Structure 1
Amino acid sequence: MSDQRLYLGVDGGGTGCRARIVDDAGHVIGQGLSGPATTRLGVPNAWASVLRAWTGAAEEAGLDPSSAPNVVAGIGIAGLTRAGSREQLQALPHPFANICFTSDGAAACLGAHSGRDGGIVIAGTGSIGLALVAGEEKRAGGYGFPISDEGSG
């Protein structure tokens, strides 16, 4: 397996982080879980969660988590649009052949529509409506629903 190109997908959300490694044929060979991976808790904490999920997936796949020269990583992180977050993440050392960061919402939309135009609505730790249309991202929300003490009437 050492010469085979592998792909790591990470869903780093506000509640938890999931990592999955697949081979060229799309077969899942390892999965890992960890806690929140949101920049709201700080970039170092988000990255530590991503690495814990990667480590679990790598160990399940029989890979050395400290060395992944054949692994291409796509990492969706909650709160990536916060000022400076992407730059801080890109500056961190990593074991992968290549790495690409995007928001967790954009990653979910890409996955839901296999890279084609489409939209999603997420109502979880945070909330967002997001669509990818002709390569352009359209979004509404992103930090949860407003909370009110007033009744609904």
Structure 2
Amino acid sequence: MSASAASPHYFLGVDGGGTGCRARIEDEAGTVLGQGLSGPATTRLGIDAAWASVEKAFDAAIEEAGFEAAEIARIHAGIGLAGIGRKGALEAFRAIAHPFASIDFVSDGAAACLGAHSGQDGAIVIAGTGSI
């Protein structure tokens, strides 16, 4: 068995909305290992402010999970952000250095739909700070 096959993977999900940001780390079996919260993570506040909120939330989740650098390097992150469709936002977030095995960004609406339906087809209605 190769070292990569023997090493577990972890998954970080971040919901970065206009009111607040939530992060959760799970293992391959779906067991929640750590969670974190922070303030708004919307691109209308600027890329730096949105990323700072995302980072605060995932740092709290990492701390709760008790992860060190080796575990952090095996995290695959999915970040849902309000306003990611703004011109240049996706490119700006992709350019930010991160410690994870991989990272991807989608709109908070797309992330909510994926989460609500476990990746299957479905629909959602969001009526919060924003509406979708």
TM-score by length of 1: 0.79
- Identity over the aligned pairs, expressed in percent? 65
Cα distance in structure 2, aligned partners of 1:21 and 1:102: 17
**Counterpart position of 2:100:** 96
1:26 is aligned with what amino acid? G
Higher strand proportion, which one?
A: 1
> Aligned-pair distance for 1:64?
3.2
Whether contact under 8 Å (1:8, 1:20) holds in the other structure is: yes
Unaligned 5+ segments in structure 2 are 1-6
> Aligned-pair distance for 1:114?
1.4
Question: Does residue 9 of structure 1 match 2:7?
Answer: no
Runs of 4+ with >4 A deviation: none
Cα distance in structure 2, aligned partners of 1:77 and 1:48: 12
Cα distance in structure 2, aligned partners of 1:104 and 1:63: 26
Whether contact under 8 Å (1:15, 1:37) holds in the other structure is: yes
Distance change in 2, residues 1:82/1:64 (3 Å): same
Whether contact under 8 Å (1:59, 1:65) holds in the other structure is: no
Unaligned 5+ segments in structure 1 are 129-153
Whether contact under 8 Å (1:17, 1:49) holds in the other structure is: yes
Q: Deviations over 1:84-135 (max 9, x none)?
A: 100000000001000010000000001111111111110000001xxxxxxx
Looking at both structures, which has the greater relative contact order when contacts are Cα pairs under 8 Å and sequence separation is at least 6? 2
2:72 is aligned with what amino acid? A
TM-score by length of 2: 0.92
